[in-house]
Amino acid sequence: MVNTLRLLTALVVLWSLPFSVSAETGSGAALTDSPGIRMLEEIQTVITDLAEHAKPSVVNLFPIPGGGRPRDSGADRSPNTSGSGSGLIVDSEGYIVTNNHVVGDATEVEVRLSDKTKLIAQVIGKDPDTDLAVLKVTADRPLPSARFGDSSTVRVGQWVLAVGNPFGLDRTVTLGVVSGIGRENINLSRYENFIQTDASINPGNSGGPLFNLRGEVIGINTAIINFAQGIGFAIPSNMAKQVIQQLTSRGKVVRGWLGVGIQPLTPELAKKFGVNEGEGVLVNEVFEKDPAAEAGIKPGDIILTIDGNVVDSPNKLSRLIGVLPPGATARIEVVRDLKHLVLAVPLSERRDSPVVASLPQSRTEVKLGLDLQDLTAGLAEKFKLRETRGVLITRVDAGSLAHAEGLREGDLIKEVNRADVASVGEFTSAISKVRRGDTVLLRVLRENRAFYVVLKSSD
């Protein structure tokens, strides 16, 4: 629809052209019909044409709680909080995508089209893990729908247009640029890979589209950072397309499951396992009878790639596995004892339990600061442990490195420097082999969830 190259060329030429003023009226007069003005008007026409093309596919949504009246409110925009918001018609038959937090617990939603028509939509599927939901309306005519672009080609600095209904102001259009890509750890959803934009996004924009200059949807606007100006986030279109396809076809999203606990590699952990910082993620637990265990993945393995895609964070690993269907075989590259292995892992269906464990990071060099005792049946019951043997932490000195790294009473130490320890005696023997100033790698269980942590012995 839009000739992007022509627009960018116009911008470059524009800044090289001087503006002129009327000789009759002096410096305060309006600008004449100069080449620069014509260039600006051409750019303006591109943007206005894009806005007119985009607006009809954007709808205003009002969830109907418990069969009552629609909730017409501008407040919100945190996940899992329902209220009025925006939606995007993605199919002329009446399928609409929006945010899960806009819909909330409602099963019906009032939809207001650009021509002021009001329809009642049924919620046909929701995916809290990506904060997306799909609705369906029945209309007596084909509805104006948007087309998706390829979000993998999005680049920082490119122009974008956000359309939505902030504070109840129907089909508001804002212009900006992509200010970041691949944003994660925002703590808005389980699978995060957000496009960041400075195109103004406000309460009520949630669920609306983010367009590129060709009129293609490259993201679904989902959140803002409170008190931050010019920082909004959109779910990439490629992720949204996968979720929409599953919600429309089966009413839910089914994802692959690997069956491991994972954590990021701190500099200390990377050094202990012989890899570079940020190179892969650390497997701290492998669940029995799950795909990873059956394929031979072990605690202490560093997962580097999945099907050739680099894994540089726990979030990235979860996303790469999550887009694969149950039954698919993932080729997973790991480092184990400094050796590279590639394992074929047939995935099962994901279950709803968290797989990421991490601890506060600290580099304070003090004594270990731990009191220990052998695990007993009574202590295992007290600290909700299914284990029968191990080294239980009974006290952590305030201000010690163990305290700074997040260890606490009730944690069960299972390994010291990759060697199993089942008693305080074995722990003491393993520690006795550590030279002054060396680091100590511990594998720890807390309420049956495992993680690794590195401590620095006293000099």
Alpha carbons 366 and 265: distance in angstroms, whole number? 21
140: which DSSP letter? S
**Which residues are CB-neighbours of 84 under 8 A, at least 6 positions away?**
60, 61, 62, 63, 70, 71, 72, 73, 74, 76, 102, 165, 168, 204
Which residues lie across from 345 on neighbouring strands?
330
Nearest to 434 by CA among 370, 368, 373, 369: 368
**CA distances (Å), origin 78, targets 173, 188, 205, 222:** 21, 8, 12, 9
Q: For the residues of 229-289, what is the DSSP string, one character each?
A: TT-EEEEEHHHHHHHHHHHHHHSS---EE--EEEE---HHHHHHHTS-TTSSEEEEEE-TT
Q: What is the dihedral of CA 36, 39, 40, 45, to 10 degrees?
A: 160
Judge whether 349 and 368 are in contact, CB under 8 Å: no
Look up 206 and say whether it is catalytic. yes
**58-86 core/surface letters (b: 16 or more CB in 10 A; e: else):** bbbbbbbeeeeebbebbebbebeebbbbb
Specify the residue for token string 């007290």: 382
Which one is catalytic: 76, 127, 129, 131? 131
What does the block give as tokens for 241?
């397309």
131 is catalytic: yes
Alpha-carbon distance of 154 to 379, in angstroms, equals 54
The residue from 206, 237, 313, 318 that is catalytic is 206
| Residue from 76, 101, 237, 362 carrying the catalytic annotation | 101
CB 286 within 8 A of CB 309: no
Contact at 8 Å (CB) between 211 and 50? Answer: yes
Q: Which residues contact 90 (CB under 8 A, 6 or more apart)?
A: 96, 97, 145, 146, 148, 244
* CB-based contact 324:418 (threshold 8 Å): no
457 annotated active-site? no
Which residues are marked as active site? 101, 131, 206
